[in-house]
Amino acid sequence: MNLQQKDFCICTYVAGKTYRSLAKNLIVDLAKYAPEIPFIIYTDKPQEFENYSNVLVFGHKRQGVLYYHERRFAIQKALSMFKSCMYIDSDVRICAPIPEREWLGGITARSCTSMTKHFQEMMNKTNPPPVKAVKRFEVFNKMAKKMDVDIETEKVTWINEFLFVVTRDAGKEEEFLKHWEKISLYAEVNGLHKHPAYAMGLAATKANFEVRHDVMEGVDFFDDRV
pTM for the model: 0.92
For residue 128, what are the contacts with CB-CB under 8 A and spacing of at least 6? none
Q: 56-81 pLDDT, tens per residue? A: 999 978 776 667 789 999 999 999 99
Q: What domains are there in the chain, each with its CATH number?
A: 8-99 (3.90.550.10), 112-159+170-209 (no CATH)
- In this predicted structure, what is the pLDDT of residue 103? 96
- In this predicted structure, what is the pLDDT of residue 26? 96
The low-confidence residues of the chain, meaning pLDDT below 50, are: 1-5, 225-226
- In this predicted structure, what is the pLDDT of residue 73? 95
- In this predicted structure, what is the pLDDT of residue 215? 94
Residue 109: phi, psi to the nearest 5?
-110, 135
What are the percentages of helix, strand and coil residues in the chain, rounded to 5? 40, 20, 40
- In this predicted structure, what is the pLDDT of residue 146? 93
